[in-house]
């Protein structure tokens, strides 16, 4: 990669995916600062009190104190002819990224001045790109919605698994229950860490756009306590529950930006697809009955 001449468009696209290498970050800054033909905007100095007022207004408007931490190294100087500072525009750019209005760091930060403030080593635009890359790696509103919905989804599966561990009639169901309990408890812990980090950054949850039925959460798991026979009832409930998790995972892969969230979604898809196949095979071998329709009446990939 080091032998390839990188252009500004490619660099910004790479920043959007936030490839964490020191060499790439240095190359990005060098490219942004070296771009020719950009109209330089004059910067007018304002008093510290006025700059602080502008910053407070921007942070309040974005309702995201975490953005201020990401943008705190921005220049407070005001852009000539405007009421905005590079800092306030950076906060606005972070709000767009966090809400999922855009997943392009370049587009979110394009209104920032490329002019380097006196005494600064980086332009506000370059600093905004670095802040945007950090936020994109953490995730946007769809990532936060995903973990907010998937935590109780997993907790429901763990509850069902605990009942199956006690009441399961076959070794298959008891072993599957143990796998679900262990793997999903670990994933719950990971999702709580992600949710905490996104909350610290001020990222507000969006909506996954799925109904309770499409997420496989329209059932009453308490019915399993008295189900007889237990195994078919457990499988008939867990398959659509897993299919719902697949739908939720595909949404965040499509609309989220968080590195950890997307990795978790891929992990869920791989594990729960295998488990669905195993449950369907076991059901066919033991009962031969027709499976119930999937939740929402559609394929979990859509």
Could you read off the pLDDT of 159-195 as tens digits, one per residue?
Answer: 999 999 999 999 999 999 999 999 999 999 999 999 9
Could you read off the pLDDT of 45-66 as tens digits, one per residue?
Answer: 334 444 444 444 444 444 556 8
Query: Could you tell me the domains of the chain?
Result: 8-137 (no CATH), 141-297 (1.20.1260.10)
Tokens 């946007």: give the residue. Answer: 140
Q: What are phi and psi of 79, to 5 degrees?
A: -75, 125
> Following CA atoms 83, 84, 88, 89 in sequence, which dihedral angle do they give, to the nearest 10 degrees?
140
**Of 40 and 246, which is predicted with more confidence?**
246
For position 44, what pLDDT does the model report? 32
Query: What residues contact residue 97 under an 8 Å CB cut-off, 6+ apart?
Result: 103, 105, 108, 132, 135, 136, 140, 257
Cβ–Cβ < 8 Å for 168, 234: yes
Task: Look up residue 4 and give its two tokens.
Answer: 């390839």
Q: What are phi and psi of 46, to 5 degrees?
A: -125, 165
Residue 85 to residue 107: CA distance in whole angstroms? 17
For position 266, what pLDDT does the model report? 98
At 207 the three-state DSSP class reads coil
Residue 78 pairs in a beta bridge with 44
Residue 39 to residue 240: CA distance in whole angstroms? 56
Task: Look up residue 146 and give its two tokens.
Answer: 């995903």
For position 78, what pLDDT does the model report? 87
Which among 174, 188, 204, 196 has a CA at the least distance from the CA of 245? 188
DSSP notation for 31-80: HHHH--S--PPPEE---HHHHHHHHHHHHHHHT-HHHHHHTTTS--PEET
CB atoms within 10 A of CB 288: 7
Query: What residues contact residue 297 under an 8 Å CB cut-off, 6+ apart?
Result: none
At 267 the three-state DSSP class reads helix
Residue 97 to residue 198: CA distance in whole angstroms? 12
Could you read off the pLDDT of 206-231 as tens digits, one per residue?
Answer: 999 999 999 999 888 888 999 999 99
Half-sphere exposure for 247 (CA within 13 Å, toward CB): 26
**Of 219 and 245, which is predicted with more confidence?**
245
Could you read off the pLDDT of 107-138 as tens digits, one per residue?
Answer: 999 989 888 888 888 899 999 999 999 999 99
Residue 114 to residue 35: CA distance in whole angstroms? 9
For position 60, what pLDDT does the model report? 43
What Rg value do the Cα atoms of the chain yield, rounded?
24
CA-CA distances (angstroms) from residue 273 to 254, 266, 276?
18, 11, 5
């Amino acid at each position: 990669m080091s032998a390839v001449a990188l252009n500004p468009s490619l660099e910004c696209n790479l920043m959007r995916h936030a490839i964490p290498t020191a060499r790439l970050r240095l190359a990005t800054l060098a490219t942004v600062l070296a771009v020719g033909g950009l109209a330089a905007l004059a910067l007018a100095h304002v008093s510290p009190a006025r700059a602080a007022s502008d910053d407070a207004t921007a942070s309040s408007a974005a309702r995201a104190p975490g953005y201020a931490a990401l943008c705190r190294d921005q220049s407070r100087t005001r852009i000539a002819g405007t009421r905005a500072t590079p800092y306030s525009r950076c906060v606005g750019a972070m709000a767009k990224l966090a809400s999922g209005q855009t997943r392009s760091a370049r587009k979110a930060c394009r209104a920032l001045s490329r002019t380097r403030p006196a005494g600064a080593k980086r332009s506000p635009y370059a600093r905004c790109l670095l802040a945007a890359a950090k936020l994109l790696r953490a995730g946007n509103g769809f990532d936060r919605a995903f973990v907010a919905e998937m935590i109780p989804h997993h907790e429901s599966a763990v509850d069902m698994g605990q009942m199956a561990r006690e009441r399961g009639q076959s070794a298959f169901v008891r072993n599957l229950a143990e796998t679900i309990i262990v793997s999903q408890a670990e994933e719950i812990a990971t999702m709580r860490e992600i949710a905490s980090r996104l909350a610290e950054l001020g990222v507000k949850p969006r909506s996954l756009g799925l109904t309770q039925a499409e997420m496989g959460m329209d059932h009453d798991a308490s019915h399993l306590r008295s189900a007889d026979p237990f195994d078919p009832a457990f499988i008939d409930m867990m398959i659509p529950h897993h299919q719902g998790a697949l739908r939720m995972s595909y949404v965040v892969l499509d609309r989220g930006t968080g590195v950890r969230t997307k990795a978790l979604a891929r992990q869920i898809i791989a594990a729960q697809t295998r488990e669905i196949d195993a449950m369907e095979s076991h059901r066919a071998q033991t009962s031969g009955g027709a499976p119930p329709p999937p939740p929402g009446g559609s394929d979990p990939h859509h």
